[in-house]
Amino acid sequence: MPTRPPRVSVVLATNRGGPFLAEALASARAQTYDDVEIVVVDDGSPDPATIARSAAAVGARVLRIPPSGVSVARNTGAAATDGELLVFLDDDDRWHPERLARQVATMAAAPEAAGSYCGMRVIDGDGRELVPADQHQVGDVHEVLRRATGIMAPNLLLRRSAFDAVGGFDDALTLAEDLDLVLRVALVGDLVFVPGPLAEYRHHGGNTTRRHRALALGIDDVVRAHLAHARAQGRPDLEADHRASLDANRRYIAWSGGRAALRLAREGAWGRALAELTWTAVHAPTAPLLWLRHRLAGRRRRARSLSDLSDLSDLSDRA
C-alpha cells in the first residue's frame, strides 16, 4: 500500500493578534501541500474575539491560555496537534504557497534528518523586501552551532520525534528560545536546506527583534548556557563552536547598537545615541577587533577558493 504523506501541524502563538495575523494565517492555509492542520494559541491576548475570527476564517483551532510566554504557548500548541512534522508561524510573518510542499519533499528524501530550513527574506510592514534570503546549506553540526547561517523558528520545520527528543522549547525562555531549540536539535540530527525565499520575516515597529539590546543579551545567555553544558560534557570541539557564536553575537551588538545610535543622532536625540554607544562599548568592547578578524578570515577563504580554481584550470589545460 502507498505510504500516506505526513501531516504538518502549524502552530501560531500570539499574545496580541496584531494587524498581520489574518495575512499570516491566510499564507498557511494557502499552502499547496494538502494535509495541514493549524492551531492558534492565544497567549492571554487582550482581544481574543479578533484572534478567534481570524482563526475561524481559515478553519484553524484556537486554544486560549493565561499569559505564559512564547515558549509555553508553542509547546502547548504542539502538544495539541498530531502531525508528524511541526512548523511554527509568527503572527506577523508569511509563507510562499510552496513552502511546506518543498520542505516536506526534502524531508522525505532525507529520512534521517531532524528537520529542514528554507530561505527567508526580511520584509517591512508593507511587504517590501528589506533583506534578501541569504541562507545556505550548513556542512555539519559545527556550522549550526557557530550560527553560520540563519536558522530560526520562522524558517524551520521539524520532525515531531526530534522536537520531542529535546523536550521542545525551554519554557523559561522568552527571547532567543528558537536559537536554543535549534542548538539542541542540531545535536540529534541533521538540518537540510531548501533554497528559495519561501518564508518572509516581517520587520516592523511592534515586533520583538526591534528590541535589539534584549535580543542580543538573550542570545548571549542562551549560547553561554550551551557553552557551559559543552564544557561539563568534556566537548572542547563544541566549546569552540559556542565561543565562535559568542563572537558573532558581539559583532551583532556592535552593528545593531551602532545602527540605533546613528538613527537616534539623525533624529537629534544625542543623549540616547550616546547611551546606545556606551551600551555597545560595555557589552562588545572587542567587537572592532572581532569584525576585522572576521573580514580577514573571509578574504583568506576567498583567496583559497580562487587558488583552488586556478589549480583546477591548470590541470584542465594540461589534460
Mean confidence (pLDDT) of the chain: 90
Dig out the grid coordinates for 84 from the structure: 508528524
pLDDT above 90: residue 90: yes
CATH code of the domain made up of 8-208: 3.90.550.10
Dist CA 76 CA 78 (whole Å) = 5
The three-state secondary structure class of 124 is coil
User: How would residue 305 be classed by pLDDT, with cut points 50, 70 and 90?
Assistant: very low
Q: How far is CA 3 from the centre of its chain?
A: 31
Q: How far apart, in Å, do the first and last CA atoms of the chain sit?
A: 52
Mean pLDDT of the region 228-232? 98
DSSP letter at 208 equals: G
User: How would residue 112 be classed by pLDDT, with cut points 50, 70 and 90?
Assistant: very high
Mean pLDDT of the region 97-107? 98
Dist CA 284 CA 257 (whole Å) = 10
Mean pLDDT of the region 134-150? 96
Mean pLDDT of the region 292-300? 61
Beta strands in 20-155 (DSSP E): 36-43, 61-65, 85-89, 94-95, 115-123, 129-131
Residue whose entry in the numeric block shows the C-alpha cell 583567496 = 303
Domain locations along the chain: 8-208, 211-299
Dist CA 162 CA 88 (whole Å) = 14
For strands 8-14 and 36-43, give the pairing.
parallel
What share of residues in the chain are helix, strand, coil (percent, to 5)?
A: 50, 15, 30
Please name the residues in contact with 100: beta carbons below 8 A apart, sequence gap of 6 or more.
8, 31, 32, 33, 36, 87, 157
Cβ count within 10 A of residue 139: 9
pLDDT above 80: residue 204: no
Dist CA 188 CA 138 (whole Å) = 15
- Whose CA is closest to 70, among 45, 36, 100? 45
The fraction of the chain above a pLDDT of 70, given in percent, is: 87
